[in-house]
Structure 1
Amino acid sequence: MFAYLHGAFKHKSPTSVVVDCSGVGYEVHISLYTYGKMESLESGRLWIQQIVREDKHTLYGFIDQVEKELFNYLISVSGIGPNTARLILSGMTPGSVKSAIMSEDHVSFTRVKGVGPKTAKRLIVELKDKIEKISAGQEFGIPTNQSNTSREEALSALITLGFQKAQVLKAIAKVEQTLDEDAETEMWIKTALQQLAG
């Protein structure tokens, strides 16, 4: 239904954003990768994938078409739903997802909550041929927009992604021992995801 939304980015968080298009606000779920690219932007375009379930319609947004295409490939694999696909794209860049599939590195995928060894191997088998045609493009740096609320944003994002609050608090406590206080939100979340996967 939607190809993309272009408008002002309102109420940004590491897991979602409201895109204001001519006075209508669309709630869009995003990956950490997309959040990192749009964090410092006031407006722009997000490529959209609409997921329709019996009880709700959900919009997922992507900073580029490559990420959207990867998302659609990921959810085509049995055992991987939209939220798990978003977790994969939050813990890995599109380029590293492609690389892990091409090199048959199933371990990288098992670090993501909800992806076991069988699902990871199935993902690689089903997507290896398809993924060759995706150009992952250049890896861009994540814009830095430091904030003293990075810890709180990371905590909120991880709980929103489905982790238990107690687990997240433990992981964040460990992250605090290794990260600088002014580390950006994306780094907090990635490091905490590693702790949660361990």
Structure 2
Amino acid sequence: MIDYLKGEIAELTPASITIDCNGIGFFANISLNTYSILNGEKSAKIFVHEVIREDAHVLFGFADKHERDIFLLLISVSGVGPSTARVILSSLSAKELESVIATENVAVLQSVKGIGAKTAQRIIVDLKDKIKMTDSQGSIQLPTKADLSGTGHEAIAALVMLGFPQVASQKVVSAILKESSSLPVEAIIKEALKRL
């Protein structure tokens, strides 16, 4: 079992990271929050959860242990797989999700793409006793300078990697950029996740 990977960031997108560990490139799926933390860094230490299936070994990477712990709690809920958990952690930070669960805010969870009323309620019921609330609100600073056309393409690529159709992703991202052309890629993806 891999606990963490430490090395140079060979490639970083809003949905994945390739980290070079002594000449071996490990590809891991990441959340938008992890991307926000690692964006602009040359090297990183990411905590890993490995999903072993018949047809693949898939790595999910996290900027800190706390996000990985929340991810593991999410996938322990019936009906929530690793891809859904990653979408949830791309829409809400780990701290925001803890707050949503602690306050039993079903509506916020339902606003996440792919989460229906039953799944939202199941997440809250299953996890509310396991979540430890913390007082400090962790907020992530989003980068402000971004190349607009590049930003749009990056957002679309990330949405496709998260499992959304290319055409639908392009339509939504175009609409968001028309409304607000200066959004950073993370903000575009978060907004797109609400609309798709």
**Would you call these one fold, judging by a TM-score over 0.5?**
yes
Structure 1 CA distance for aligned equivalents of residues 128 and 15 of structure 2: 28
1:126 paired to 2:126:
yes
Match of 1:151 in 2: 152
User: 5+ unaligned residues in a row in structure 1: which ranges?
Assistant: none
Tell me how far 1:43 sits from its aligned partner.
Answer: 0.3
Q: Percent of aligned pairs with the same residue?
A: 38
The one-letter code sitting in structure 2 at the alignment partner of 1:178 is E
For each residue in 1:49-104, what CA deviation from the matched residue of structure 2 results, as whole angstroms up to 9, or x when unmatched?
A: 11111211111000011100000000000010000000000011111100110111
The one-letter code sitting in structure 2 at the alignment partner of 1:52 is I
Q: Where do 1:34-53 residues align within 5 Å? A: 34-53=34-53
Helix, strand or coil: the match of 1:104? coil
User: 5+ unaligned residues in a row in structure 2: which ranges?
Assistant: none
Structure 2 CA distance for aligned equivalents of residues 79 and 134 of structure 1: 27
Tell me how far 1:128 sits from its aligned partner.
Answer: 0.2
Work out the number of aligned pairs and report it: 195
Q: Where do 1:84-99 residues align within 5 Å? A: 84-99=84-99
Contact 1:66 1:136 in 2 (8 A): no
Contact 1:145 1:184 in 2 (8 A): yes
Q: Please provide the CA RMSD for this pair.
A: 1.7
Tell me how far 1:190 sits from its aligned partner.
Answer: 1.0
1:186 paired to 2:182:
no
For each residue in 1:137-184, what CA deviation from the matched residue of structure 2 results, as whole angstroms up to 9, or x when unmatched?
A: 63332345523411000011111111112221221122022212x321
Match of 1:59 in 2: 59
Contact 2:36 2:140 in 1 (8 A): no
Cα 1:136–1:44 change in 2 (3 A) is farther
Contact 1:10 1:19 in 2 (8 A): yes
Task: Answer with 107-116 or 150-159: which moved more.
Answer: 107-116
Cα 1:67–1:138 change in 2 (3 A) is same
Structure 1 CA distance for aligned equivalents of residues 125 and 46 of structure 2: 30
The one-letter code sitting in structure 1 at the alignment partner of 2:160 is I
The one-letter code sitting in structure 1 at the alignment partner of 2:188 is W
Structure 2 CA distance for aligned equivalents of residues 20 and 41 of structure 1: 13
1:82 paired to 2:64:
no
The one-letter code sitting in structure 1 at the alignment partner of 2:99 is S
Match of 1:167 in 2: 168
